[in-house]
Structure 1
Amino acid sequence: MSVPVRPYRFADAPPDAHAWGLRLHRIAMVAILLLAAVPLDLSAQDGSPLAERLSWTVADRMDRDDVPGVVIALLVDGGPVWTGVFGMADPATGRALTEDAVFRVESLSKPVTAWGAMRLAETARLDLDASVKQCLTRWQPPDDAGPITPRQLLSQSAGVGLGDFAARYPPDAQRPDLPDHLAADFTRVAGPGERFAYSDTGFNLLELVIEDCTGEDFAVLMSREALAPLGMTRASFDWPGAEMPVGHDLRGRPVAPYVYPGRASGGLHATVADIARFAAAGMDGADQDVLSPEAVGALHGPVVSVGGLFGLAADGYGLGHFTETLSDGRTAVWHGGQGHGWMSHMHIVPETGDGIVILSNSQRAWPLFAAVLRDWSDSLGVAPVGMARVLWAETAARIAIPLLVTASAIVLWIAYCAWSRPPVARIGAGLLSAPLALWPVFAATQDYLFLFSILPGLWPWLAAASCLTGFSLAVFALAPARRG
């Protein structure tokens, strides 16, 4: 079932003196649109009441975070049962988002690439445990890199650096070929097999390995061996050339179309139905003939433990898939993607056939994704999945902002009232004032910071509160003491 929804956006309303009346009117409009779009008598197999709950959550978060468009697919018992379409493909022209819209799915390309690599392994065309140098003819890693295997590249344990994720080019422009790009982009951060190190460059190296081993173009091979057999009819690792939604960056600005030099790490274009079919293929007992059940199990089984920021959302990484243990003991596998103006996420529980796919044409959608995943987790009767912890940052910011403002007022009051202030207090306040006041200035000059992604609507308020605190501390440190 497809549910097209264009929620009434609070930000679209004109200013008016009767603010409360307008706000009540807007809330009523949201209710009318959502109730009209999502029938209340849907059966559970059609996604309700979860579909209804997600529709409310998405409408609220789209307005709160200024997200133009979102598409969601729910899977129950191993297959898609509901699709929700929300918002605009291009707000500037009024073009509505549709169910068949083709998205950049960014790093959701990695699990799809993993299926292709495993297909080659099962058909004896790629040795996952041999050195990549046995196949490579157009470029090879430096000799001091140590032996790297395709399995290590797939499990993000090859010790390869993240890479230049900002290397973007217009689709019709000249760009470096993959060997030249890898020669400039390849770095080492650990020895092969030592630890988890998320790497776009590693998957792009795997793309080169696949091409040199088979003698075929990566996109052509992936289409024949994986995409077409899985029913992903609109998906392609090449530029689709069709009209797509317009992506929007962290500041809400439209993003021009682009491609990367490599395709395996983030170059897949697909519809929500394509990714839903891919998710369904990964369920236990799925009716697909691309991989054996043992091969799918190998993709989903954790190979390396995950730490750092990734460790907040995942327990391990398999072959192209993050893994986590749910609160009831079941295993979930997932992957997400974030690029310049686009976000994507897929979460599945292979044992029970439950899954969800979320695509957006906005880079501001991370809190929205987290809220949707929290609702989905609740419908499964488990604690929120790891990715829902993104909302912790929002809670922390909502606590920190008033605390910083209150602290600023107290410090200014002390500075005004105090006859004298100890030199140690002055020096400490002076040292704290500069970073608190200046980090927001630095942040404002950056195209991307992790903070922007997890707090798209709140980080300017957090920055302002921090600047105010820095100013108050500077006054405390520099203002002369009052005399009697």
Structure 2
Amino acid sequence: MKLVNFQMGTLALILVASYPGYATHTTNLNTHDLKRINAFENGLRPSVLNRAQPQNWSLVERMTHYNVPGVSIAVIKDYEVVFAKGYGVKEAGLNNPINTDTVFSVGSLSKVATAATALNLVSKGKLALDTDVNQYLKRWQVPTSKYTQSHKVTLRGILSHTAGLTLWGFPDFNPNEPLPTVINTLNGTGAAKTDAVRSFYEPGSSWRYSGGGTTVVQLMIEDVLNNSFESATNQLLFKPLAMSRSTFENPLPVSFGNIAKAHDRVGKLEAKPRGWHTFPEKAASGLWSSPSDYANLAITLMQSYHTEQGYLEQNIAQQMMTKVGYGNYGLGPELSGVGELRRFRHGGSNQSYKAWVEGHLNLGSGLVIFTNGSNGDKLIREIRRAVADAFDWPFYRPYYQYQASLDKSWLTQFTGTYKIPKDVNSFLERGFVNANDKKPKSRQVKLKENKLYYNDTELFAIGPNRFVFEGDDELNQTYFEFVQNTQGRFDTLIIREGENSMVAFKDKK
């Protein structure tokens, strides 16, 4: 596998001079590579641009703007890591630079690694996708309820967030706090900070993201293998994929070394005195890794999808990359697009660490970004656009603001309450609604200081009756069209996100 660790070129010297603490390395890079890297490092931008005055910033500027001390990235091209680099420092105020081996907490990117491990066990015949998970669980059982009478909780349902289980996510634990066992977490007892994991809708009838479900998968793997989760994943995933800088061990011991420390929204060190939190819900949010390591996983999944001799059986990898039910998730990752736009992705968001992975299934390219600041999610959005622009990927293309003035009387026509007049989910609405939404589902469009808002998010005009969110381009840019009827009134709202759409009608009350 080819790995480009960018070191001490002209560009790096400029960065070091402007921002002490950058990790700099040397490799053989041609002029074209240098231009791409320069374009990325100086081409961060918003998702919606003013054509007359387009904005762009350097990575250094935006790290400072968002109070993010450290960033590390790996770029994939043709199923290889072609560029990897660390920026900034492990701890604010110290000269301890991030490098390509620095590990970060990656939040919910843990779920994709957990899914890969579980699906490897499916390939080996030790687990089945559509069997009641209680047949594998020895120390705890999914409680029987009215929701599980007809349809049982299965591995396919859990990995796609359609199994009907509770608990979206989990809070972090500070050093020296007591830690729950996996059984404590599932029962909501002992040192657990969350309620018990329970069913709250019939499996397959809706979707809702569930870290609680992923914790059930953790217990399944432990019970089936009679092994700890961190040991099982080391043997089944990290060693085969040469991920030597990855572990589910929590608390992460100081001896693991080269650890990016946690920082809050103003850039101050958190989780003192150690400098990093503990994530006892390991399968859902407990992975520590480096971007170069995690890129190995992304590459492996793409290769398994296309070949018969991959880490996963090809049929299993294809199922992993196929949406299930009413959500946008396959068996682990979130999915979107067709043709060259087909891709998987997942974000990670623990308290002070933000992370991102995406893989372009039909292009063999992708990106991994890890940060050690609470505002890292905002920075990641801008990094994604800059890398996509520099490497000429068909993603994150900018929208341009409509330049003509839209006055208050025109915008007022769009305001009101919009309702979806049906009591069941539609597959066309994937990702827009989940099991927690009230029915009938309604959306508010309001005008504040001559700006249009969808619920509480500002809409940016790209046409007289067409709008988008700024920054909302993680999966597909959310796109709003107010439809005019034959009497000249705007009484219908179409919301599109890639191949998915939702139609709502203005409440006439």
TM-score over 0.5 for the pair: yes
Q: 1:272 to 1:28 in 2, by over 3 A?
A: closer
CA distance in 2, matches of 1:286, 1:69: 36
In structure 2, the partner of 1:42 is 30
The 8 Å contact of residues 264 and 374 in structure 2, kept in 1 or not, is answered as yes
CA distance in 2, matches of 1:164, 1:39: 40
The 8 Å contact of residues 303 and 317 in structure 1, kept in 2 or not, is answered as yes
Pair 1:165 & 2:189 matched: no
1:100-138 CA-to-partner distances (Å, cap 9, x unmatched) read 111111111111111110111111111221111112221
Match of 1:115, SS state, is: helix
In structure 2, the partner of 1:3 is 6
Q: Where does 1:349-368 land on structure 2 (aligned, <5 Å)?
A: 349-368=360-379
Q: 1:381 Cα deviation (Å)?
A: 4.3
Q: 1:381 to 1:277 in 2, by over 3 A?
A: closer
CA distance in 1, matches of 2:301, 2:197: 31
CA distance in 2, matches of 1:261, 1:360: 20
Q: Where does 1:233-312 land on structure 2 (aligned, <5 Å)?
A: 233-239=244-250, 240-241=252-253, 242-243=256-257, 244-256=259-271, 257-284=276-303, 285=306, 289-306=310-327
The 8 Å contact of residues 19 and 88 in structure 2, kept in 1 or not, is answered as no
Q: 1:301 to 1:53 in 2, by over 3 A?
A: same
CA distance in 1, matches of 2:120, 2:162: 20
CA distance in 1, matches of 2:372, 2:60: 15
Q: 1:304 Cα deviation (Å)?
A: 3.2
Q: 1:265 Cα deviation (Å)?
A: 0.7
Q: 1:118 to 1:31 in 2, by over 3 A?
A: closer
CA distance in 1, matches of 2:370, 2:264: 14
The 8 Å contact of residues 281 and 287 in structure 1, kept in 2 or not, is answered as no
CA distance in 2, matches of 1:229, 1:51: 31
Amino acid at match of 1:298: Q
1:205-227 CA-to-partner distances (Å, cap 9, x unmatched) read 11112212222211111111111
CA distance in 2, matches of 1:71, 1:384: 20
Q: 1:324 Cα deviation (Å)?
A: 1.1
Q: 1:267 Cα deviation (Å)?
A: 0.8
- Which structure 2 residue ranges, 5 or more long, are not aligned? 9-13, 45-58, 189-195, 402-407, 409-447, 449-470, 473-509
Match of 1:281, SS state, is: helix
Match of 1:347, SS state, is: strand
CA distance in 2, matches of 1:86, 1:27: 9
In structure 2, the partner of 1:320 is 332
Q: 1:60 to 1:287 in 2, by over 3 A?
A: farther
Q: 1:333 Cα deviation (Å)?
A: 0.5
Amino acid at match of 1:213: V
Q: Where does 1:142-221 land on structure 2 (aligned, <5 Å)?
A: 142-144=143-145, 145-146=147-148, 147-163=152-168, 165-170=170-175, 174-184=178-188, 185-221=196-232
Q: 1:92 to 1:30 in 2, by over 3 A?
A: closer
The 8 Å contact of residues 103 and 270 in structure 1, kept in 2 or not, is answered as yes
The 8 Å contact of residues 89 and 97 in structure 1, kept in 2 or not, is answered as yes
Amino acid at match of 1:322: E
CA distance in 2, matches of 1:54, 1:33: 19
Amino acid at match of 2:5: S
Amino acid at match of 2:227: E
**Matched pairs, number:** 365
CA distance in 2, matches of 1:194, 1:246: 41
CA distance in 2, matches of 1:209, 1:40: 46
The 8 Å contact of residues 73 and 82 in structure 1, kept in 2 or not, is answered as yes
Amino acid at match of 1:77: D
- When you count helix as a share of all residues, which structure comes out higher? 1
The 8 Å contact of residues 358 and 367 in structure 2, kept in 1 or not, is answered as yes
The 8 Å contact of residues 78 and 286 in structure 1, kept in 2 or not, is answered as no
Q: 1:371 to 1:321 in 2, by over 3 A?
A: same
In structure 2, the partner of 1:437 is none
Q: 1:169 Cα deviation (Å)?
A: 4.7
Q: CA RMSD in A?
A: 3.6
Pair 1:98 & 2:99 matched: yes
Deviates more, 1:212-221 or 1:105-114: 212-221
- Which structure 1 residue ranges, 5 or more long, are not aligned? 6-25, 307-315, 396-402, 404-431, 433-452, 455-484
1:27-50 CA-to-partner distances (Å, cap 9, x unmatched) read 99649999x989997354x4x433
